[in-house]
Chain A
Amino acid sequence: DTEVTQTPKHLVMGMTNKKSLKCEQHMGHRAMYWYKQKAKKPPELMFVYSYEKLSINESVPSRFSPECPNSSLLNLHLHALQPEDSALYLCASSQVTGGNTIYFGEGSWLTVV
């Protein structure tokens, strides 16, 4: 069963709010990812965790703070966001070894007002 579960599905937050996006997978994958996708554009990589350690940060602003509490969970903490941060945020997971398929969740729609 290839399933990555993301909550919430929709989130509206003000520019001064603090919120979190959550992601869970039970496929035994040890690599987890956050992607950002704007309308009519492909997903853009934000962060990669391998074995619960941050391995890639694609120069993402510090108002986005990732956390990997264990091998099944991935969080994205949001603080002081800007309206241009409104997008679909996608969590994904895979085996750590290169060449393995990366499976995506349904995404969390974020609107910053």
Chain B
Amino acid sequence: EDQVTQSPEALRLQEGESSSLNCSYTVSGLRGLFWYRQDPGKGPEFLFTLYSAGEEKEKERLKATLTKKESFLHITAPKPEDSATYLCAVQGGGATNKLIFGTGTLLAVQP
């Protein structure tokens, strides 16, 4: 059964304190791994799509990496505006485009 586990559930950082969020997955035939940011009361905002092990993508203070079993979202020198819930999702093989979501990591960055 396809499964996604994110850790930690919550993370509190000081402004400028770099860290990483983890997304472990088991899926039959990975077609894509997706990272989203979600602010309270709003829809998920797309950040990155990764397709194969070894792939990396960057956007401002965020960098996403992918191995055959997990993905990391590295946050370098975070700012308070980076505070949000970060969701990881995978899309496996099969006839549908169904996303399997993890439960998210709630990030709080304190000034």
Contacts and interface: CB of A to CB of B under 8 A. Distances in A.
Interface of A: 2, 4, 6, 31, 33, 41-43, 45, 48, 55-56, 88, 90, 94, 96, 98-107, 109
Contacts of A48: 96-98
Interface stretch (B12-20, B41-49, B59-67, B76-84): B41-49
Given A2-B46, A98-B91, A101-B49, A42 B104 contact: yes
Contact of B91 (A2, A4, A43, A99): A99
A42 B43 contact: no
A29 to B, nearest CB: 11
Interface of B: 31-32, 34, 36, 41-46, 49, 51, 87, 89, 91, 93, 96-99, 101-104
Nearest to B92: A98
A2 B41 CA distance: 19
Which 10 A-B residue pairs are closest in the complex by CB-CB distance? A42-B101, A99-B31, A104-B43, A99-B32, A107-B43, A98-B31, A104-B44, A106-B43, A101-B49, A90-B43
A59 B59 CA distance: 38
Contacts of B41: 88, 107, 109
A96 to B, nearest CB: 7
Contacts of B44: 43, 90, 104
A109 B32 CA distance: 29
A100 B34 CA distance: 10
B96 A56 contact: yes
Given A41-B103, A42-B87, A42-B102, A102 B97 contact: yes
B51 A99 contact: yes
A103 B89 CA distance: 13
Contacts of B87: 42-43
A43 B104 CA distance: 10
A32 to B, nearest CB: 11
